[in-house]
Amino acid sequence: MTYSIDELKYWNEKIEKLAEEKGLDFYPQEFEIISYEDMLCYESYLGMPSHYPHWSFGKAYERLRTLYKYNITGLPYEMVINSNPSIAYLMKDNTLVLQILTMAHVYGHNDFFKNNRLFKEYTNADLAIEMFKNHGTRIREYIKNPGIGYEKVESVLDAVHSIRYQCGLKKRKKYENKKENETSKDSKDQKDVSDSLLQFLIDYGDCEEWEKDIINIVMEETRYFIPQIETKIINEGWACYWHYNILNDLELSYGSHIDFLKIHNSVIAPHQGRLNPYYLGFKIWKKIAKESKDLRKIFEVRALERDSSFIRRYLDFDICMEMNLIQLEEQDRFYLVTEVADDEGWKNIRNYLADTVGMGRLPKIVVDDVIKIDNVLCLKHIYDGRELDVTNTFETLK
């Protein structure tokens, strides 16, 4: 490290003070300085070192390690956990300027986690760390149980992981209203079409109690991460917007300020052939801030929107043109340009993006019927113009 812990504390205090002055509202923030080996582990285990064991996490680790070893991909400068207090992991090999930028970036994420409605209504930051620890303990107990064992636990986890995103979202009790509760009870009593395949299996599946508990564990953890999937662009853009504003007011030395601008520009640089969520999010946030009379508007947008609504409402012709956005369609082994950002095409690009970000990338499967005589569960794909991948479909149904 080319810096001391005292230096990080000094800059963190200045960043935190500026963030508060600018109106950010965040959980208490904790930082951990880790090595690249630790970052590989944390990223593989979704930021939770106490996560339950499964071969897929080891596979993710080996893949990341190999890609990093051969310089095919890099590692994130940081990782932020949606918890209270918020925990952020910083790479110790970062330069001091990069650490300063990263800490400011973290406060943007922290504010977003605390105030965006998806996180407020569907996750509980106060209990997040304990939830993962508790889940890890329960899974390990099932593995140690001689009547169950590792192979049975692994088999159930394999099956549930394959459909883990077919779980919908469930509001925390304090955000539920009476009408929603009555509707959900009626639906359960009637065994109606369920938006949550996993919940249906828990309620009506022919499973042992420990199997239902594992399904519930996977469902709860998936629901914890869905808001992050649904807000990748708006969240990263928000963090970039604030690290840019905070560091511009941080009174860095001339050389450090130049280094900061270089790092910032590399973070939001366009990616060839794919969309950089940092770039798109930052551009939209700058537009909203420029057109707003005061900061109340951007804090309101931060509280209410997810990627799909954020793009549909605020991605305009000028941004599409500036970013040279195009829409591609795969045909055989090639890609065909189907839309460009002209007077009409930009709207189609915007709508396509809004439809396919977040959970819109995944097919939606719901329970359609139960044939009791044959004990058959009928599932229905909610068709949106995109076909299911045949190979993956048959493998999942096995």
Which residue is it, tokens 């993006």? 353
Summarize pLDDT for 7-24 with one digit per residue, the tens: 999 999 999 999 999 999
Contacts of residue 274, defined as CB under 8 A and 6 or more positions apart, other chains included, come to none
What pLDDT, on a 0 to 100 scale, did the predictor assign at position 186? 47
Percent of the chain with pLDDT over 70: 95
Q: What angle do CA 207, 210, 215 make, to 5 degrees?
A: 70
Percent of the chain with pLDDT over 90: 80
What pLDDT, on a 0 to 100 scale, did the predictor assign at position 159? 97
Question: Helix, strand, coil: what percent of the chain each, to 5?
Answer: 60, 10, 30
Which residue is it, tokens 């949606």? 82
The residues pairing with 204 across neighbouring beta strands, listed in sequence order, are none
Question: Is the entire prediction scored with pTM above 0.85?
Answer: yes
Q: What φ, ψ does residue 377 adopt, rounded to 5°? A: -100, 120
Q: Is 169 exposed, middle or buried (0-12, 13-18, 19+ CB in 10 A)?
A: middle
Contacts of residue 16, defined as CB under 8 A and 6 or more positions apart, other chains included, come to 29, 107
Q: What's the residue count for the chain?
A: 398
Give the DSSP letter of residue 47. Answer: T
Per-residue pLDDT, averaged over 199-211, amounts to: 95
Summarize pLDDT for 107-145 with one digit per residue, the tens: 999 999 999 999 999 999 999 999 999 999 999 999 999
Say if CB 106 and CB 96 are below 8 A apart.
Answer: no
CA dihedral 274, 381, 219, 353 (to 10 degrees): 20
What pLDDT, on a 0 to 100 scale, did the predictor assign at position 398? 76
Q: Are strands 86-91 and 29-34 parallel, antiparallel or unpaired?
A: parallel
What pLDDT, on a 0 to 100 scale, did the predictor assign at position 57? 96
What pLDDT, on a 0 to 100 scale, did the predictor assign at position 347? 96
Alpha-carbon distance of 129 to 81, in angstroms, equals: 9
